[in-house]
Amino acid sequence: MQTTRIIAIRHGETAWNVDTRIQGHLDIPLNDTGLWQARQVGQALADEPVAAIYSSDLQRAYATAQAVAQATGAPLTPERGLRERGFGDFQGRTFQQIERESPEQALRWRKRDPHFVPDGGGESLVTLRERIACTVDEIAARHCGQQVVLVAHGGVMDVLYRLATRLDLQAPRTWQLTNAAINRLLWTGGNGLTLVGWADTQHLEQHSRDEIHS
């Protein structure tokens, strides 16, 4: 049976993460903490056998992936299919603004309506899941017997967890989507993803945060 090991990483922190501002497809850079997190996750994976790294082409993910590529020596390929969910008119707004300005849409979003599409060219959860599943299948099938790193976004990590655990799109989230955490999955041809380990943040805890500004 052909299998591919996958390390999935959410990008490092951005200023908009701190402000709870929706990023979606907007190209927001890492902040100082995010750059530090990227270096830490790169160092944590430096001795791993990594055949290839695939990253969302948005800079917050790609910069994180570059740190991993520098540490591991693995080739890095931008992959648009790993982008965050498209949030349409929600992009650039905080959770509080959306609740206040678009209460009906906010309610459908909060209830995880799988078919809800934000105005202005957003994606539904169903569309996002299909995009991520297809992208991961294509990448994993390319690297049977190897280990690859995928660097993407919180929404992508959420979908990967649900695919691996067979959880419904509307199931309440009880798992972490921490910036720069290491998540491990196994892909098997014909059976898709299974969960190996989730939200490993040891590499973010064992060094002084004073290094961020050093």
Q: In the structure encoding, which two tokens stand for residue 74, read together?
A: 């693995």
Quick count: other Cβ atoms within 10 Å of Cβ 156? 27
pLDDT at position 41: 98
Residue 143 CA to residue 77 CA, distance in Å, equals 14
Active site residue 143: no
What's the average model confidence in pLDDT over 110-129?
96
Tell me the per-residue pLDDT of 80-106, one tens digit each, with 9 for 90 and over: 999 999 999 999 999 999 999 999 999
Q: Which residue has the higher pLDDT, 106 or 208?
A: 106
Q: What is the dihedral of CA 163, 169, 172, 175, to 10 degrees?
A: 30
Residue 61, SS3 per DSSP: helix
Quick count: other Cβ atoms within 10 Å of Cβ 43? 16
Residue 40 CA to residue 46 CA, distance in Å, equals 10
pLDDT at position 48: 97
Q: What is the dihedral of CA 148, 130, 189, 182, to 10 degrees?
A: 30
How confident is residue 2, by pLDDT bands cut at 50, 70 and 90? confident
CATH architecture of the domain formed by 3-213: 3-Layer(aba) Sandwich (3.40)
How confident is residue 214, by pLDDT bands cut at 50, 70 and 90? very low
Among the listed residues 59, 58, 5, 64, the one whose alpha carbon sits nearest the alpha carbon of residue 34: 64
Domain map of the chain by residue range?
3-213
Q: Check pLDDT > 90 for residue 209.
A: no
pLDDT at position 92: 97
pLDDT at position 210: 52
Active site residue 11: yes
pTM for the model? 0.95
pLDDT at position 206: 62
Of residues 79, 84, 143, 153, which has the active-site annotation? 84
